Each structure stands twice: as C-alpha cells, then as structure tokens.
Amino acid sequence: MRLKEIRIGNLIARNNVFLAPLAGYTNAPFRDMCYALGAGLTFTEMVSAKGLCFGSEKTKELLHVSKDYGGIKACQIFGNDPYYMRKACESEALAPFDLIDINMGCPVPKIYKNGEGSYLLNDFTLAAKIIEECKKSGKIISVKFRIGLDNSSICGGQFARVCEGAGADMITVHGRTRDKIYAGEVDFEAIAAAKRAVSIPVIANGGVFCEKDADELYERTGADGVMIARGAMYKPWIFAEITGRENVDKRGIVRGQLEKTLKVYGEKFALVYMRKMIGFYLKGTPNAAEIRAKLFKCQSITEVEEILNTLSF
C-alpha cells in the first residue's frame, strides 16, 4: 500500500497504518510498542463516557499515556448520551488527548443492549447529535463504525455522510456487519461506498493479518489508510512489515513491552497480561502449544522472562 501522512483536522498522523482500539489490550505499553514498530496512530481501549464523568478510577486507569510517547494522543470513548459524551470530551481526564474517537461499532451484546456502540446505527439522529456535542468540546473528533447491523441494512455510505455532516474529522469503517461480530469476509465495496460519500479521511478496518491483507484492503476500498486490530494482537511487528522497517529485534521489542507493563501496572497485572500476549505472539511458531502451556504456569515475571529469552518469534 502507498504510505502517506493523514491530516485529521489540524493534526497530522505520520502514516496511514493505524492501531485499532482494543478492549483489554491497547494499554500504554502496547501502544508504545506498536508506535515504535511503525504505527502512524494508536488508540486507547474504549472508555465509558459516563465512567469518566462520574470519576471511575478503573476507567481513568485505561487512559495512561507514557511520557515518552511521540505520536498523536488518541482516546476512544463510548456512550449514548450526547450530554455525557461532550462532558467526557471536556473532562480533565481527556485533556491530554489530541483526538477523541467515538465508538459506534462495538458489536458486543452487553454494549449493544445498552444502546451504545453499533446500536447507534439504529438511530442516525442520535448519532449525529452525539458527534455535534463532542465537537463543541473543541477536540478533533473521529468516529469508528460498522457497515450495518446485518446484510439487510448496509448503510456505510449513508452513515458516513451523517458523521461528516455532524462535524467528524475522520471516520474508520469496519467492513463487517454487527451480526458477524469478528467473523466472515470483509465487504470491500461497503467501505468503498463510505469513501465515495465523504471528503474527510476514511480508514478501512477488518481482516488485516499480514502485509498482503493491508494492500488488498487499501486498494479495493480506495480508503486513505488501514486500521489493524486482531492482526496486531498476534503480530505487532506487522506495522514494521507494512511500513518497510527491517531487522526488527522481535524478542527485544517484547522484552521492552514486558518491562514497561511491569513498571506501569505492577507485577500482578503484568504477569497475567504478558503471559496472554506472548501466547498470542507464539501463533505459527514451532512448539507453540507446548511453550504456551509452560508460559501459563508461570507464577512470576522472572519465570516469564526465562521463557521469553528462549523464544524466536
């Protein structure tokens, strides 16, 4: 794919290969690692607007940003009340962030049944009101959404126009319907329809697990860039591959992630989180199942480090 800068309002992302917000995964050390590997923009895990407004400490923990992070600081929020969405954007907790993304694509039943995430595809008027209120905060605003609820309600182009009309500075379009969750083929044409419908940057999302996937998504949709989600969980060095960075010390990169996670979140969290992440990174490597079994039995960071020192990703 053709690498290029992306202008989002008055912000400029250094390239057009982005890391998606991933609940439970895209904490500060993971974002730092992906940015170091070449990602042009990274997002926090999605955080509850009401949680921020009511001072939830657990919610605030998701917003940690490393002091040495060099990219655009971007946060994703979710909710369905325009008042609280704007209030969250104006909150002290989000003051460090340059870009606020609104989640209108999460398909998880708990979120959907609460009228949030992809449920907003049911109500274009409410979706527009939320964007308009968030824009009043003065923040740069983007929106991430799906192409529809099911195959009978594909609305990528129409919803894209709603977002642009309400003031969104960029949109990211996940090329699956809500009912598909994360399975099934990506609908390139539905993303392309959204791209044709608006003049703001359009980022294509869905099904990118290697450089070839990124090329296909970029070319077949005509989007301005691509966003990588689960592909980065299994292979964060996918950013280095797509952006042409060579000779990446994968084990060193993961060791750095482990050290930062330990420093920021403490050993209890780091142990559970890094066992899981290294387990993902082992996908496709020799003896992966056997090594994972040993990894998940580790009771200390030292034991995890000992296994990490023997690995080649």
> Which are the catalytic amino acids?
106
Say if CB 67 and CB 96 are below 8 A apart.
no
Say if CB 226 and CB 18 are below 8 A apart.
yes
Residue 67 CA to residue 181 CA, distance in Å, equals: 35
